[in-house]
Amino acid sequence: MKRNISRIVKRGGIQLLYLLIYGPVLLSVYVFNPIVEFFNSRRAYRIFWFFILAFFTLY
């Protein structure tokens, strides 16, 4: 019984880790996408990708 609980906790921990990693990325996409569409220029896209790259390098 304890073994099953620990297995569930481990799996949940992995899912939580993925959520912590991918959560900000998805949030930034949802936040930046309207801004990028609003600007609708290559410069805005470049800034957006620069932010993503900076985020990944900082992680």
Q: Where are the domains of the chain?
A: 24-59
Nearest to 56 by CA among 13, 9, 24: 24
How do residues 1-25 score in pLDDT, each as one tens digit?
566 667 766 777 777 777 777 777 7
Question: Is residue 40 scored above 70 in pLDDT?
Answer: no
Question: Is residue 47 scored above 70 in pLDDT?
Answer: yes
Nearest to 45 by CA among 29, 26, 59, 25: 29
